Amino acid sequence: MSSLTLTITLSDILAVVGIVAVVFATYYLVTTLKKLSSMADKVNNILDTNKNNIDNTLNTLPKLVDNVNKIAESIGSKGDEVGDIVSSVNEVAATVDDIVSAVYDVVDVFSQFRNIFSKRGLK
């Protein structure tokens, strides 16, 4: 009877581990590529479905940018006018404050005269 001897070396084990790693890496790569392909198909379907809307939006975009620029320029030019109006309002408020102060002084003077004459009338 002959005996059967099986010898496994370190290089044999590394070769088997390497082959298994390559198989798993290939499986992972194929699975990832399938998912990416499926996602690309979905994106293409969405783009095809909304082609008219996308084209209309892209055609309208320059007009919108022009309108925004015009609005920004208008606001910029109105900014100076708003500053002038605020200055005018401040001047009017200061004038009204001066008038109120003057009227208060006049009323105070009349009140003092009234008190003086009313005291004389009581004596």
- Residue 18 included in any domain: yes
What is the per-residue pLDDT across 67-90, written as a single tens digit (0 to 9) for each? 888 888 877 777 767 777 778 888
- Residue 32 included in any domain: yes
Q: What are phi and psi of 50, to 5 degrees?
A: -105, 20
Longest Cα separation, the chain = 158
- The DSSP H or E segment spanning 22 is helix 10-49
- Residue 106 included in any domain: no
- Residue 108 included in any domain: no
Residue holding tokens 């005269």?
113
pTM, entire model: 0.43
Kindly tell me the sign of the dihedral angle through the C-alpha atoms of 117, 118, 121, 123: negative
Which pLDDT score is estimated for 16?
95
Total domains, the chain: 1
Residue 31 belongs to domain spanning:
10-49
- Residue 43 included in any domain: yes
What is the per-residue pLDDT across 1-33, written as a single tens digit (0 to 9) for each? 567 888 889 999 999 999 999 999 999 999 999
